[in-house]
Amino acid sequence: MRSLILSALAAMSLPLAGHAAEGTRIQVTGEIIDTWCYYSGVMGSPDAVVGSAHHTCALWCSAGGIPVGLLAEDGTVYMVLKVGEDDQTAGGDTALKLAAHTVEADGMLYERDGLNYLVVSDVVSDLDITNQNHDDYGNVPPFSIPKSARPQGD
């Protein structure tokens, strides 16, 4: 897992620096996700690290520099390298405003070493947080809290 994230970080500048192959223009709809929690499983299964149940954590991870991704409706994950004119997508204001939101994005897709990278030129629509799963998982899924930190009896 760590190597996947390190590869993604190392390759993040490639499409922008002109060293990558030509991209393909796509429009894709999906949720802006926190890639660390989604790929590592540290906060639970993939269905627990999206939507309203994971919104707060996604904000913290993005603010801390973890790259954001776009989880498409078909399950494809795109590492988002840039959104519009925001040069600092990981931790940038744009990414923070979109955490856990479902968006329709127009941009350039670059594929390298089995990973999908997306340079978003325009967020065509922002549907806000549509995955209301906090009723199922809580705002912080209980299984993500170490047993030593849980209240007695949990």
State in Å, rounded, how far the first CA of the chain is from the last one. Answer: 30
Lowest mean pLDDT among 3-17, 26-40, 54-68, 90-104: 3-17
Give strand pairing partners of 133.
none
Domain 2-11+24-137 fold: OB fold (Dihydrolipoamide Acetyltransferase, E2P) (2.40.50)
Quick: pLDDT tens for 115-124: 999 999 999 9
What gap in Å lies between CA 20 and CA 22, rounded to an integer? 7
User: What pLDDT score was predicted for residue 42?
Assistant: 84
Quick: pLDDT tens for 1-29: 555 554 555 555 444 545 546 899 999 99
